[in-house]
Structures are given as C-alpha cells and as structure tokens.
C-alpha cells in the first residue's frame, strides 16, 4: 500500500499478561512501515468459554501502517509466534492473542482474516477499548461510529481497567 491506513488491533493475554503484553507492544512498534498511534487502557476481563483459567488482560492499539491487511496479519501472527502462542482449545489460556478489528473502511471476508472482526460488536473487551481510543471510527458494515454501537455488546466480561502507564507498572 502506498498511503497510510489505520488499523485497530486487539491484544489479549492471560499467561503472564503484563510481561507478555509489554513485550507485544515493543514488537508492534517494530512492525515495518507501521507505527503505534494509540493505546487504550488495559482491561482485566473474565474468561469466556473455559471459565477455569486466569483472568485476561485486554486492550486495543491503533496502528498507522502502509502494509496491506494480509501483510499486517502476517506481522501480528509473527509476534504471536515470537511470544510462544500455542493454538490450544478455543477460548483457552494464551500467552498472546492479536486480532485485527478494523482496517480503514475495509470489509474483508477471507478464510483466515475477516475485517471487521466478527466478535467486535459482541464482546465488550474488544469494543470498549476501541471506543476509548477511536470513538469516531466508523464500522464499515453498519456505517456508524463505533461509539454508537455499544448497545450491540452481547458478552460483558470487563472487571476493571487501568490506564496504560499504570498497567505497565504492574
């Protein structure tokens, strides 16, 4: 891509989450032709699906990038590999999980990448931090700013939140 795009990426971890997310953010800053331009608060959330596991820490970052959506996916999956992400049971514990929520106004439905992310409007730990850093970002399928879509949330898992600087000091 020749011009900058804005992508929003959800980050989650429940295995040494403060260390893993800090490392993840450092790696995100190193993605070629990209830069982190926003970071939400860090949200402690209840697990979903498999409830007998530690709480998660979730946040959303904004990235300004010249990569294509698939190029960004390759980079985020590379970060997951570096941080030893193991694909275990669905909704199970993980060192790190990165999901592309939005990429400009793109609607993409590939077998390995869907944008907007299909869980964006269902889960508070995705939508709430996105609203925090980009309330006017438009959901391309709904044509509305994400701040107007909070009523769509089906699963409420947020327990509490910490501002980014306070969370890193944890």
CA distances for 9 relative to 38, 54, 103, angstroms: 10, 22, 9
The range of the structural domain enclosing residue 159 comes to: 5-165
Residue 123, domain member (yes or no): yes
| 72, part of any domain | yes
The answer to whether residue 158 is domain-embedded is yes
Q: Per the domain annotation, does 170 fall within a domain?
A: no
Measured in residues, the chain has a length of 170
CA distances from 63 to 26, 80, 99, 119 (A): 13, 17, 12, 19
Q: Is 99 one of the catalytic residues?
A: yes
Q: Contact, 82 vs 93, CB < 8 A?
A: no
Query: Alpha-carbon distance 109 to 24, whole Å?
Result: 26
The model carries a pTM of 0.93
Which residue of the set 97, 123, 124, 161 is catalytic?
Answer: 97
Query: Residue 35: is its pLDDT beyond 90?
Result: yes
Q: Identify the band that residue 170 occupies on the pLDDT scale cut at 50, 70 and 90.
A: low
Quick one: pLDDT at residue 163?
78
Structurally, the chain folds into a number of domains equal to 1
pLDDT over threshold 70, residue 96: yes
**Residue 57 maps to a domain:** yes
CATH number for the domain that contains residue 135: 3.30.70.560
Q: What share of the chain is helix, strand, coil (3-state, %, to 5)?
A: 30, 30, 40
Q: Kindly report, residue by residue over 110-169, the tens digit of the pLDDT.
A: 989 999 999 999 999 999 999 999 999 999 999 999 999 999 999 999 999 987 766 666
Residue 104: per-residue pLDDT: 97
Q: Which of 26, 64, 87, 99 is catalytic?
A: 99
Greater pLDDT, 22 or 48 = 22
Write down the catalytic residue from 44, 94, 123, 161. Answer: 94
CA distance 37 to 134: 11
CB atoms within 10 A of CB 112: 7
- 39 belongs to a structural domain: yes
Catalytic residue among 44, 85, 123, 161: 85
Q: How far is CA 92 from the centre of its chain?
A: 17
Asked whether residue 131 is domain-assigned, the answer is yes
- When the pLDDT of each residue in the chain is averaged and rounded to a whole number, the result is 92
Answer yes or no: is 100 within a domain.
yes
Any catalytic annotation for residue 97? yes
């Amino acid at each position: 891509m020749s011009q900058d795009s804005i992508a929003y990426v959800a980050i989650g971890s429940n295995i040494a989450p403060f260390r893993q997310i800090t490392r993840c953010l450092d790696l995100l800053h190193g993605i070629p032709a990209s830069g982190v331009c926003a970071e939400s608060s860090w949200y402690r959330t209840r697990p979903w699906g498999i409830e007998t596991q530690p709480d998660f820490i979730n946040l959303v970052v904004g990235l300004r990038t010249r990569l294509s959506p698939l190029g960004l996916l390759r980079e985020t999956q590379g970060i997951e590999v570096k941080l030893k992400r193991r694909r275990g049971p669905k909704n199970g514990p993980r060192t790190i999980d990165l999901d592309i929520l939005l990429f400009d106004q793109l609607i993409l439905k590939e077998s390995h990448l869907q944008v907007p992310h299909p869980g964006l409007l269902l889960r508070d730990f995705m939508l709430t931090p996105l609203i925090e850093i980009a309330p006017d970002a438009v959901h391309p399928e709904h044509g509305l700013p994400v701040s107007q879509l909070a009523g769509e949330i089906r699963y409420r898992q947020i327990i509490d939140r910490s501002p980014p600087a306070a969370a890193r000091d944890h």
